[in-house]
């Protein structure tokens, strides 16, 4: 028989709707533009700082020194190649910065900043 149906052909009925905490959140897309953020109230009354767009990243080099650098371009996104075309910043994306190419190591839409590890040095 078809999925979700009884042997008689009747439909199974859900015993309740989804609760507010079970509903999916709105996807927050972080674009490469002038830095813009927002504060959200989360479960338990906590506040989460999110990013909507950003132009700077905290870059950690091989000698474990952190520097702030301007992002110039999104080179590649392994999770979805179309995100790189639209300059959308996500975890794992390879970005071109003033210091060289770097890989984003955090989730900018969740954490409110962009952290990255340097892959290549510009000489």
Domain membership of residue 109 (yes or no) is: yes
The DSSP output letter for 104 is E
Could you give the number of structural domains in the chain? 1
pLDDT tens-digit readout, 41-67: 988 899 989 999 999 999 998 888 899
Domain membership of residue 76 (yes or no) is: yes
Domain membership of residue 47 (yes or no) is: yes
The whole-model pTM stands at: 0.78
Identify the CA nearest to 32 among candidates 56, 60, 67, 58.
Answer: 56
Query: What CATH number is attached to the domain comprising 35?
Result: 3.10.290.70
Domain membership of residue 105 (yes or no) is: yes
Q: Give the domain range for residue 32.
A: 27-118
Using an 8 Å Cβ cutoff, are 53 and 34 in contact?
A: yes
Domain membership of residue 112 (yes or no) is: yes
Residue 13's pLDDT band (cuts 50, 70, 90): confident
Domain membership of residue 92 (yes or no) is: yes
123 exposure class (CB count in 10 Å sphere: 0-12, 13-18, 19+): exposed
- Alpha carbon of 107 to those of 8, 21, 30, 51, 93: distances in Å? 48, 21, 10, 10, 10
- Per-residue pLDDT, 123: 57
Using an 8 Å Cβ cutoff, are 105 and 91 in contact?
A: yes
Domain membership of residue 4 (yes or no) is: no
Domain membership of residue 64 (yes or no) is: yes
Q: What is the mean pLDDT of the chain?
A: 90
Using an 8 Å Cβ cutoff, are 102 and 59 in contact?
A: yes
Query: Looking up tokens 């042997």, which residue turns up?
Result: 7
Identify the CA nearest to 54 among candidates 113, 116, 107, 111.
Answer: 113
């Amino acid at each position: 028989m078809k999925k979700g149906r009884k042997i008689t052909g009747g439909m199974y009925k859900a015993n309740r709707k989804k609760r507010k905490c079970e509903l999916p959140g709105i996807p927050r897309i972080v674009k490469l533009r002038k830095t813009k953020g927002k504060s959200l109230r989360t479960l338990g009354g906590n506040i989460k700082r999110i990013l909507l767009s950003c132009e700077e990243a905290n870059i950690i080099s091989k000698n474990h020194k952190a520097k702030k650098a301007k992002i110039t371009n999104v080179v590649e996104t392994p999770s979805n190649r179309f995100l790189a075309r639209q300059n959308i910043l996500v975890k794992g994306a390879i970005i071109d910065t003033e210091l060289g190419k770097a890989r984003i190591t955090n989730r900018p839409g969740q954490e409110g900043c962009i952290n990255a590890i340097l892959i290549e040095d510009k000489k």
